[in-house]
Amino acid sequence: MSAAHRPGSAPAPVLMARGLGRSYDGFEALSSFDLDVRPGESISLVGPNGAGKTTFFTIAAGLLEASAGSLSVVGSDPGSIEARRAVSYLPDTPVFYEDLSLGEHLEYVGGLHGVADGGTRATRLLERLGMDGWSDSLPSEFSHGMRQKASIALALVRPFAVLLADEPFDGLDPPSRDVLFELLGEARETGAAVLVSTHRPDVVAASSRCVGLRDGRLSYDGPPDAEALSLSSARPA
């Protein structure tokens, strides 16, 4: 029996990076980055703007190719059908089809991932996020905060093993932030790993683990203690 299946052993990683790197015309946005993420973990990814957080997320989501090293999601290459099925990506800038209503977006994503009760789940998400009544509206009609909430609904309406959320609390009012905390906790309860890039100390404090990046390299990997909280507020001068 393998260690991954031995009773009492830690579960196998759902995401694993080894020596991961990405360069742009000689600039290293990410370098020699190692990370194991296991089911049910809540990880805050912190560091200054430009530290490599979004680069890591876009590689893990299969939207950007690594220049060096390797990354696997549920044992598959990023961008593969298996990996896309496992990963839900909530980008820092919401992306929509501007000619589709919010309801049509949710129906499309749910159908694409075989969600049997997609309509019911979408309705509940919109109600909790304070967007009930907006299902027939186009994204162009939304404020910044509403676009963010719509993007959250799209990321959570489908099943996933790994959620990559890039600054998801930005632009939300306090009640919506509370709802997002609840939704992320519920995702963890299903066994999903939740990775959130953030500058917010309250988000870091609520996580089970903190991973810090600086200049594209791992600078911290540990509990969300005082050192991690200080890293979350680090921004370029």
Does residue 61 carry a pLDDT above 70? yes
The predicted-structure confidence for 74-90, as pLDDT tens digits, reads as follows 999 999 999 999 999 99
Q: What's the pLDDT band for 41 if we cut at 50, 70, 90?
A: very high
Does residue 169 carry a pLDDT above 50? yes
Q: Give percent above pLDDT 90 in the chain.
A: 84
Closest CA to 105 of 144, 58, 147, 57: 147
CATH topology of domain 3-93+158-232: Rossmann fold (3.40.50)
CB-based contact 41:208 (threshold 8 Å): yes
Does residue 92 carry a pLDDT above 60? yes
pLDDT score recorded for residue 152: 98
Q: What's the pLDDT band for 203 if we cut at 50, 70, 90?
A: very high
pLDDT score recorded for residue 165: 98
Closest CA to 147 of 123, 175, 176: 176
Interatomic CA distance for residues 34 and 164, integer angstroms: 17
pLDDT score recorded for residue 237: 35
Interatomic CA distance for residues 70 and 76, integer angstroms: 11
| Residue-averaged pLDDT of the chain | 91
Interatomic CA distance for residues 220 and 51, integer angstroms: 12
Q: What's the pLDDT band for 225 if we cut at 50, 70, 90?
A: confident
pLDDT score recorded for residue 10: 76
pLDDT score recorded for residue 46: 95
Q: pTM, whole model, 2 decimals?
A: 0.91
Q: Rounded mean pLDDT of 46-61?
A: 95
Does residue 2 carry a pLDDT above 60? no
Lowest mean pLDDT among 25-29, 44-48, 83-87, 183-187: 25-29
Lowest mean pLDDT among 61-70, 116-125, 141-150: 116-125
Hey, CA dihedral for 214, 219, 221, 222, is it positive or negative?
negative
pLDDT score recorded for residue 5: 45
